[in-house]
């Protein structure tokens, strides 16, 4: 596996980190790490450091768990979609979605053929839209960057209680509509 980009290309804005909005802990599965190319693990480590995350290697069921701003987010990261492992992947998704409230599945689909394989498999295995959320990406780096951004966003929303504020705002708007 050749890495197209070995340096962190995207960061969480520094003002978000300095105001307590960035950083956190990223736990990576030992098993997942051992299956990856060392240059990709180096990219992940560099990217996390640049975004004020601490990286720990642990024996966990999902590939990653991020804790950011008091919010824990689990990820399955499929770096290569292989027709022989499709049932295993979707079986794992079914199992982990019952264990983690905030589960995302990131899948690298660099070609139309891989995308078609995913779409057919998604419906074949009876996935329900949004449960869990699938994030489809073109390359490994993009996939990992998306994971960090999702974890960071979930942490900021929890810390600022954005859900309650949104519900209150929607309630206020509906009062004027009636």
At residue 172, the pLDDT reads 57
8 domain-assigned: no
Mean pLDDT along residues 7-21: 42
The residue among 46, 74, 39 whose CA lies nearest residue 60 is: 74
Choose the weakest-confidence range: 20-24, 96-100, 157-161. Answer: 20-24
How many angstroms separate the CA atoms of 17 and 30, rounded?
28
92 domain-assigned: yes
| Average pLDDT across the chain, whole number | 84
4 domain-assigned: no
17 domain-assigned: no
129: CATH:
3.40.50.10130
pLDDT digits (tens, 9 = 90+) for 140-178: 999 999 999 999 989 888 777 766 666 666 665 555 544
At residue 159, the pLDDT reads 76
172 domain-assigned: yes
3 domain-assigned: no
Number of structural domains, the chain?
1
How many angstroms separate the CA atoms of 25 and 68, rounded?
7
User: pLDDT tier at 115 (50, 70, 90 boundaries)?
Assistant: very high
User: pLDDT tier at 135 (50, 70, 90 boundaries)?
Assistant: very high
- Look up tokens 């982990």; give the residue: 96
Task: Pick the more confident residue, 31 or 12.
Answer: 31
Note down the domain range covering 100.
23-177
* Percent of the chain's residues with pLDDT above 90: 67
pLDDT digits (tens, 9 = 90+) for 49-89: 999 999 999 999 999 999 998 889 999 999 999 999 999 99
Mean pLDDT along residues 24-36: 97
3-class SS string, the chain:
CCCCCCCCCCCCCHHHHHCCCCCEEEEEEHHHHHCCCHHHHHHHHHHHHHCCEEEEEECCCCCEEEEECCEEEEEEEECCCCHHHHHHHHHHHHHHHHHCCCEEEEEECCCHHHHHHHHHHHHHCCCECCECEEEEECCHHHHHHHHHHHHHHHHHHHHCCHHHHHHHHHHHHHHHHC
Contact assessment for residue 85 and residue 117, using Cβ atoms and an 8 Å cutoff: no
6 domain-assigned: no
Contact assessment for residue 49 and residue 91, using Cβ atoms and an 8 Å cutoff: no
18 domain-assigned: no
């Amino acid at each position: 596996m050749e890495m197209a980009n070995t340096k962190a290309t995207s960061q969480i804005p520094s003002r978000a980190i300095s105001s307590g909005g960035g950083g956190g802990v990223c736990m990576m599965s030992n098993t997942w790490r051992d299956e990856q190319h060392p240059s990709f693990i180096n990219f992940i480590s560099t990217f996390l450091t640049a975004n004020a995350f601490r990286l720990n290697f642990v024996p966990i069921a999902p590939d990653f768990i991020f804790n950011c701003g008091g919010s824990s987010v689990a990820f399955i990261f499929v770096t290569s979609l292989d027709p022989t492992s499709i049932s295993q992947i979707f079986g794992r998704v079914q199992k982990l979605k019952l264990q983690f409230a905030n589960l995302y599945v990131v899948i690298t689909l660099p070609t139309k053929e891989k995308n078609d394989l995913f779409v057919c498999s998604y419906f074949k295995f009876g996935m329900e839209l949004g449960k869990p959320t699938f994030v489809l990406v073109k390359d490994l780096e993009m996939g990992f960057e998306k994971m960090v951004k999702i974890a960071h966003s979930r942490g900021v929303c929890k810390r600022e209680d954005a859900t309650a504020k949104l519900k209150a705002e929607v309630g206020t708007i509906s009062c004027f509509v009636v």
